[in-house]
């Protein structure tokens, strides 16, 4: 089940974390990381993405793309939650994420 968590730090800043697959991270991990102010992760993602595809033929690049797509989308929100908790952010609210299905169905 997907969950939303609201974190607060000592300076009163808020951050929201949603558990589950992240489509933005799957499509572009650097953009997802910049949106969450994870600048080092954004640079590392660019370098790793470029390094993995250098010297690979088109078939291997397609396989690498699919593996990166699934791995980044599945792990991104977990990494964000771990970063928040290790950096001293505290959970102030937690609830189930809203369902994507419409209520009339």
Give the domain range for residue 83.
3-96
- How many folded domains does the chain comprise? 1
Query: Does a structural domain hold residue 48?
Result: yes
pTM of the model: 0.77
Q: Is residue 101 part of a domain?
A: no
CA atoms of 32 and 25, how far apart (whole Å): 5
Reported as a single tens digit per residue, the pLDDT across 26-45 is 999 999 999 998 999 999 98
Give per-residue pLDDT as tens, 46-70. 998 888 778 788 888 889 889 989 9
Tell whether 33 is covered by a domain. yes
Chain mean position to CA 44: 14
* Residue 88 φ/ψ, nearest 5 degrees: 95, 10
Is 102 among the domain residues? no
Residue 68, both tokens: 């990166």
Q: Is residue 104 part of a domain?
A: no
């Amino acid at each position: 089940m997907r969950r939303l968590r609201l974190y607060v730090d000592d300076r009163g800043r808020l951050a929201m974390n949603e558990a589950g697959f992240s489509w933005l991270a799957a499509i572009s991990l650097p953009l997802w990381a910049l949106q969450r102010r994870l600048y080092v992760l954004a640079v590392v993602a660019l370098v790793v993405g470029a390094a993995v595809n250098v010297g690979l033929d088109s078939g291997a690049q397609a396989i690498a793309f699919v593996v990166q797509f699934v791995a980044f989308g599945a792990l991104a929100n977990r990494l964000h939650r771990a970063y928040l908790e290790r950096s001293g952010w505290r959970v102030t609210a937690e609830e189930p994420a809203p369902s994507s299905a419409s209520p009339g169905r």
